Structures are given as C-alpha cells and as structure tokens.
Structure 1
Amino acid sequence: MPTESHVIVLAFPFGSHAAPLHTLVRKLATAAPDVSFSFFNTAKSNSSITALEDHDIGNLKAYNVADGVPENYVYTGKRQEDIELFMKATPGNFKRAIEVAIEEKKISCVMSDAFLWFAGDMAEEMKVSWVPLWLSGQFSLSTHFYTDLLRDMIGIGTHAIAGREDEPLDFLPGMSGFHIEDLQEGIVFGDMESPLSIMLHRMGQMLPRVAAIAINSFEELNPTITNDFKSKFQKCLNVGPFSIMSSVPSDSDESGCLLWLDGQKTASVAYVGFGRLMTPPPHEQAALAEALEASGVPFLWSLKDSLKVNLPYGFLDRTKGRGNVVSWAPQLRVLAHPAVGVFVTHCGWNSVVESVMGGVPMICRPILGDHRLNGRMVTDVWQIGVGIKGGVFTRDGTMRGLDLILSKEKGKRMREKIGAIKEMMEKAIGPQGSSSENFKTLLELVSMCKAS
C-alpha cells in the first residue's frame, strides 16, 4: 500500500558527512514506518555506509547519483578536486537520479545535508518543505549564517586580518570565546572563490528559507546561539549528537585494537587518529612519531598504510609492542576503552563528541574547515584539551602535551570537566532530553508533510 509521505534525502558524499546523515534518517524511518525515505548519494559513499550498516528497514532505500567524474578522468592532484567535480554535476545529477528512482511517486519533503543549498530551490519548485541537516556544532553554522556580517565587520583577505587574529568574535551571539583566526577558510580569508566556499556562503544566505534546520548538537552546548537561531529560523532543532544515538551495531575490530588495549594500564595510552580525509603534512607526522617514541608513552595510531612512508626509519620496529600502528580503528569503541588517556586529533566535530563520550582529553591539531572552532571550544571554552605551540606538531611540543594530560594534575582536572559535559550530552539524548524532544518535533514535521 503506497504511503502518503515520501521524504527524499540528498547527501554530501565526502568526509564523514553521509554516514551521520544516514544514521539520523534510519532513526526517522524506524520511528515512522508509514513514511518512505529515499536516500540519494554517490555509489562509493553509499557502499561505505552499507559496509557499516545493516539495511533492514523496508521504508528506507538508497539510490546512487553520479559523482561528476568523467570516464577515464585522470586526477591532477589538486586539493578538493573530487568535490569540485561533484559540485559541477549538481543539482543535475540529483534531479536525474530522482526522476529515474521516483517515477510517478509524489515527494512530500526534501531533506538534505545543509551544504547542498540548492535542495531549497528544488523543494520550492516541488512546493514542499526543505529540512537541511547541519552535521557539526552550532558555532560553525553561526559563522556561515553571519558570513556577510563578518566580512563587513572584519574585511576580506589576509591583509584585513593581519595583526587582528586574536580579536574575539564578540559581535556574534554566543561567539565571544572564539577568535578571528578560528574562522573557516573562505569566510574572511583563504580562497573565497572555491566551489566549496561559494557553496557554504550560499547556504548561509538560504537558511532563513528552511521549514526547519536540524543540527548535530544539543541546545545546552551554547544556549545563546540556540536562542539566536530560534529567533532567525522557523524551527531550529538540535537533535544530536548523532554518533552517540545510533542504533547500529558497533564497528568491527578487524585490527585487534581493543584486544591490544585490554593489555594496557588505565588512562595510559595515546590514541592518534585524524579522520578519513585529514592528515597533517609528512614532516609533522614524523615529528609526532618522534614524540611518541621519545616519550615512552604506549600509543595506538590509526594511519593509512600509504602514509607509513612518512614515519622515521626504523620507528615501527623500535616501538613494537609499546606502539600499535593500524590502518583503521573502531574509534568510538577505542575512545570508550579505559586504557586510552589522551586523543591526538584534528578536532573534527564527530571526533570531539566521541572523545567527550569516552572521557578522554585531547591534543588538538586543527587542519581545516570547522576544526579551529572546535579546537578553541576544546582548549579555551571547555578546557578539556591542549593545543600545540604554533599549531604544528614538533617533537618537544607534542611531548609537553602528552606529559601534561597523562601525568600532571591539569590532566586530571580536564577529565573531571569532561565528565560534566558528557553528563550534559547524555541528558540531552535521554528520554526527556532536549535532543529527544526536538527529534520528536522533526519526526512529526516529516511525517505530516504531504505531497503537493
């Protein structure tokens, strides 16, 4: 029997975007069996999600969209080349896939990764609601929403911010703890004409048109920003953090990380992981390896096999037993293991949330995007981690960070502060918590939407 409500979901297939979006849609589909959900994503990204998740929900179906890469295309090695090719293909690739998959079936709501601003135009053409999802914290969404104001107040380009990097963003609601230098590339410095920068600027301008925006965070993280968004958007629904509300079975442990951790002392191990796409440059990987070796700290390092060439000669042999370098680690489970005492991270939003849930302080080495904002939150606002001097790994600077967190009183205080934040997160996603209540509102919204 056909369902009245049919929600199409448009994913951004890069980094760690598509998986948490799929986690939320799975939860919606499970809670609303009479609503159909069609998930549109590239074949490569869809297959990586299916490798992690068991697709056993009858009202949720995944469809492939073209990735924009021409046949026999030879990559030039340009940064974000795959993203540029994909963005050139949008929104046509989504429209074509939707036409083929949906045929005569009516659409009642368009959900999308918030990056894909054109989904708002598509929803308007269909005369249905648009509900984008922001997959990071509120503060990074705020800077994109206020991009035009930031450019007016600060100026544009490196010359405009020279000497002003430490100035606080105190003219934005709830952002006084952040500095100009923490902003994402493409807002007031960096390449403002890149496809990604243009896309995010356009997204910020489109946000007032949303029926609702769902955010991968919780209201209590920053009540000032939460209230500001509630006054600016029709509905602002913090429904996260997604990574700790997934009903999907935990990642497998093919590398035997957890068994290795079982043999280590409580809160003694440094876990090093930089996400799927982000890695510090080779000389910093070498400096980090030197610090781990010289410190004597047991370590677990998730590092792609292709990057092991950047490690100092003989490093793997000299640290064998005390160190464990694996090509992939089940991060959520690793950070929850009692042996892990510090997390060396790029400060991606999911990584920060997972570290808090594991009760693990962080050594922060932001790389791009929202990492600097997240890092500032960790080091200065929450005070549950340390940055590294000059923002780059050096042998001595990294050793100082490891010693401070693992051996000093300050590390103990960080763990206590993390406990309070973890409690706040758990309460938000608990039975009567703010994120759970907002999820009910989101569920009601997409379930009640009817095709025009």
Structure 2
Amino acid sequence: MSNFHVAVIAFPFATHAGLLYGLVQRLANTLPNVTFTFFSTKNSNSSIFNSQNCYSNTNVKPYDVSDGVPKGHVLGGGLEEIIGLFFKSAKQNIDNAMISAENDSGKKITCVIADAFMWFTSDMAEECNVNWIPVWTSAAGSLSVHVDTDLIRENVGIQGIDGREDEVLNFIAGISEVRLGDLPGGVVSGDLKSPFSMMLHKMGKTIGKGKAISINSFEELDPQMVQYLKSKFNNILNVGPFNLTSPPPLANVVDKYDCIEWLNHQEPNSVAYIGFGTVATPPPNELEAMAQALEDKKIPFLWSIKENFMSHFPKGFLEKTSEYGKVVPWVPQVQVLEHSAVGVFINHSGWNSVLESIASGVPIICRPFFGDHHLNAWMVEKVWKIGVKIEGGVFTKSGTIDALEFVLSKNKEELKEQIGMYKELALKAVGTSGSSTQNFNNLVEIITSC
C-alpha cells in the first residue's frame, strides 16, 4: 500500500478546495501509508494548509498549479474572469504538475480524486489508466439537475425564462416538483455560454465516467434522488455531511468577540443568527431593511458582518439595539449554531450553511443569490420543511418581520421538530454503522483497489 499515490485535484475557488481537503484528511487518517498529493493554486493551497495545518497529515502534500493568469494581465471581470483564465490552461498545467509530483515522490499516480467541477480530469485519469473519483461538494439534487441539463433544456427551451420563473416542473427525476426560477444558474437561465455554465454542463455529461461519485450529503436526506442517481451510475457514495465527518479543528478557534458569553444570557431559541458567505452579502438596501425589521420588533440577534458593510445600517442602529443585539465581524459559527439560544439561522442557502443548520437543528431563513442557492432554498422550504425562503427572494422590512415571526413564533415547534428529525438522521448516517460511514469504507476500498 505504500506505493499508492492519489492525485487530488481541487477547484481552487470559494469553499470547494477546503471541503475536498477535509475529505482527503479523513482518507489520509484511514490510509496512513498512502501518499495524497493535493493539486490547487498557490493562493488556495497557502490558505488551506496554513489555516488547517493543526490537523494536517504528513501523507498529504500540497502541490501548486498555475492560476492561468498571464503575467502583467490586469484582472477586471471578477470571479467569472478568474475562473475562465484558470480553466483555459488548467489541463496542461495540472498534467505537468502531476508528472513533477510523480518524479518528486518516486511514485506513479494510482488514482485521481477530483472536484467534480474539474470534469476534464476524467481524461487525465484515463490516460494514466487509473480510476477517476469525482467529488460533488453540494447536494444530490443539484448534481441531478446538472446531469439532466439536456433533458431540462429540451423540455423548457433555452430562449430565456423571463416571466416564466413561477412555472413548476414535475418531470425532473428525484424531485417531485420544482419552480423553474429555482433551477441553478447555467441550466436554462443566465449566460449559457459562460465558462462557468459550460463547465457545469460538461461536468454533468462526464461525471458518469467516475469509478465512484462521492457526495457531500447523506442518503436519508434525499432518498428518491439517491435512488435515481444509483439507477444511472455506479457507486453513488454519500459520504457526508463533511461538516460532521471531517469538521475543521476547533482547538484553535478563539471566540474573540465573546459571542458565546453573550448568547449565554439570552433565552432559549430566541436569537436570530445572521451570517452570509464570503461572496454573498446582501446589497445595502437589504441590509438596511433587515436592520429596520430587527429594531422594530426588538428581536434578539447576533449578526456576523464585515465592518465595511456596517455603514449601510440605519443611523443609530447599533446604539438603539445594543441591549438585545450584537454585531461582530466574525463568529465561531459551529459553536454559535449549537448554542441553545439560537432559534434561526439567516443565510444565503449555500450548501455548507444548510448542512450546518441541519447538524445543529436550527431552522433557516433563506435569501438565495446564485448557483445552487435557489434550489437549496426550495428544498429547505418545500421538501424538507426546515425553514422558509424570504418573500420575493430579497429582504424587505415587512418580509423580514414575517419570516422571523413565522420561524420564531408561529411555527417554532413544528420547524424545530422537523429539522431535529433530519439532525438525528444525519448523526445516525455518520455513526459507526451508518450509511455515510459504510459509503466511506466503500470509497476507501475503491481507492486501494486501483
């Protein structure tokens, strides 16, 4: 087994690389004699290996890959441009890096594990005559939608969906029904020719080549969807939620703003915790509307928001709400969500946030932005019934008040009971004989049989 060498190829943007790294650390713990080389950009590797090295294994090695930005090039198109430049030269750059890593280690690559977004790595694994294992870091439902993109486009058309957002589709396997406007961007809406949309389309058409497909979820959350995917592909392995199976270390987490101490003085299930992802902060008018709602109803709240966005709060907001609210630039989110005082998590319905809510048993108020956010919000409200989507998809003062009253008073017990049920299913799935644990063991077998 000491000759096994697994190439791990990350998508170096947003939270993807960190999630894949967590899974690889778990694999490395189980397979201490296997070498794992983690290919990502210098910025991505630097961030991951520096911030999470307190649980780093010696058999996981970072290997830097070019970000594809030409020397002297001035970036001006945002994340879309950066991703486009990366993909333009990614295959050649990763190919070269893999050859170098083989020479440096003296070990041939025996298996390729890759973020599913890196669809072209299936060809690289084929060229090396080794197994390819794509990892889908989001929900089974969004994966299925991308797999069936051509079918959806044939039925819906690709001439734009303006004015048709509220149409309900009932032909997507594994999802009884879904609102057309809540499908992930790039399927039938947005720029279908953008690098990101084309990447997702190619990924959906390629992922079936995998010897196994690992998913950051648990079977009991989406049983119909899992059955559908199993009918199409071999070795569909829900090995998550990653936040439970390979959580980031908490030993060095310092609650520097005394959030837990503040929560200790609040009533059970009374606090609205507000926290959005690093790339999904609401615009100024929505921040103002949320603040007005919290101040008007005097709802206890803990709000994690960068200091440069606090200028959008109404004048005097921080002073007027100081007795029942706390605004800080950072919180220890896992500990906050697990605190008994927290009654709702207001977020962007990114998959990590949804899973963290489930693991903590805290209902959700969703304000989706892009990608899979809208589909996740639909599932949260309509299928799993563990929260609500903000009315109209954007924060207004009245809509925020309605959502808070719905979650914190009118339906508090019902929502808590429903998400508590999924929490128990998640904990069981990652237990000793749970479905996710068994799937992980199957993944280990596949890696070591390469």
Fold-level match, TM-score > 0.5?
yes
Look up the match of 1:45: 44
Amino acid at match of 1:13: P
The number of residues matched between the two structures is 445
Secondary structure of the residue aligned to 2:344 is strand
Secondary structure of the residue aligned to 2:289 is helix
- Counterpart Cα distance in 2 of 1:406 and 1:414: 9
1:413 CA drift (Å):
0.7
Look up the match of 2:412: 411
Once structures 1 and 2 are overlaid, which stretch shifts more, 57-66 or 393-402? 57-66
Look up the match of 1:137: 139
Alignment of 1:183 onto 2:183: yes
- Counterpart Cα distance in 1 of 2:19 and 2:40: 13
Look up the match of 2:195: 195
1:263 CA drift (Å):
2.1
- Counterpart Cα distance in 2 of 1:255 and 1:37: 37
Look up the match of 1:374: 376
1:202 CA drift (Å):
0.3
1:53 CA drift (Å):
4.0
Once structures 1 and 2 are overlaid, which stretch shifts more, 5-14 or 277-286? 277-286
1:232 CA drift (Å):
1.4
- Counterpart Cα distance in 1 of 2:381 and 2:26: 33
Give per-residue Cα distances to partners, 1:236-257, cap 9 Å, x unaligned.
1111111111254224423322
**Is the Cα contact below 8 Å between 1:266 and 1:340 reproduced in 2?**
yes
**Is the Cα contact below 8 Å between 1:54 and 1:248 reproduced in 2?**
no
Once structures 1 and 2 are overlaid, which stretch shifts more, 433-442 or 377-386? 377-386
- Counterpart Cα distance in 1 of 2:434 and 2:153: 37
**Is the Cα contact below 8 Å between 2:5 and 2:34 reproduced in 1?**
yes
Amino acid at match of 2:446: L
**Is the Cα contact below 8 Å between 2:116 and 2:203 reproduced in 1?**
yes
Secondary structure of the residue aligned to 2:173 is coil
Look up the match of 1:4: 3
Secondary structure of the residue aligned to 2:345 is strand
List gaps (5 residues or longer) in structure 2. none
Q: What TM-score do the two structures reach when normalised by structure 2?
A: 0.95
Which of 315, 319, 322 in structure 1 is aligned with 2:321? 319
**Is the Cα contact below 8 Å between 1:243 and 1:354 reproduced in 2?**
yes
**Is the Cα contact below 8 Å between 1:53 and 1:248 reproduced in 2?**
no
- Counterpart Cα distance in 2 of 1:86 and 1:294: 47
1:88 CA drift (Å):
2.4
Runs of 4+ in 1 over 4 A off after TM superposition: none
Look up the match of 2:222: 222
1:321 CA drift (Å):
4.1
Secondary structure of the residue aligned to 2:169 is coil
Give per-residue Cα distances to partners, 1:177-233, cap 9 Å, x unaligned.
322111111111111011110000000010121111000111122222212211211
**Is the Cα contact below 8 Å between 1:164 and 1:180 reproduced in 2?**
yes
How high is the sequence identity, in percent, across the aligned residues?
50
**Is the Cα contact below 8 Å between 2:80 and 2:195 reproduced in 1?**
no
Amino acid at match of 1:425: A
Look up the match of 1:212: 212
1:20 CA drift (Å):
1.4
Amino acid at match of 2:70: P
Look up the match of 1:152: 154
Q: 1:48 to 1:322 in 2, by over 3 A?
A: farther
- Counterpart Cα distance in 1 of 2:79 and 2:283: 13
Give per-residue Cα distances to partners, 1:100-140, cap 9 Å, x unaligned.
33315200000010000011011111111100000011100
Look up the match of 2:87: 87
1:319 CA drift (Å):
2.2
Q: 1:310 to 1:66 in 2, by over 3 A?
A: farther
Give per-residue Cα distances to partners, 1:45-82, cap 9 Å, x unaligned.
22332313425412111122222233454332545332
Q: CA RMSD in A?
A: 1.7
**Is the Cα contact below 8 Å between 1:300 and 1:324 reproduced in 2?**
yes
Secondary structure of the residue aligned to 2:168 is coil
Instruction: Spell out the pairing of 1:50-449 with structure 2 (5 A cutoff).
Output: 50=49, 51-78=51-78, 80-103=80-103, 104-158=106-160, 161-246=161-246, 248-250=248-250, 251-408=253-410, 410-449=411-450
Give per-residue Cα distances to partners, 1:361-392, cap 9 Å, x unaligned.
11111111111111011111111111222111
Amino acid at match of 1:306: N
List gaps (5 residues or longer) in structure 1. none
- Counterpart Cα distance in 2 of 1:300 and 1:71: 43
- Counterpart Cα distance in 2 of 1:310 and 1:95: 47
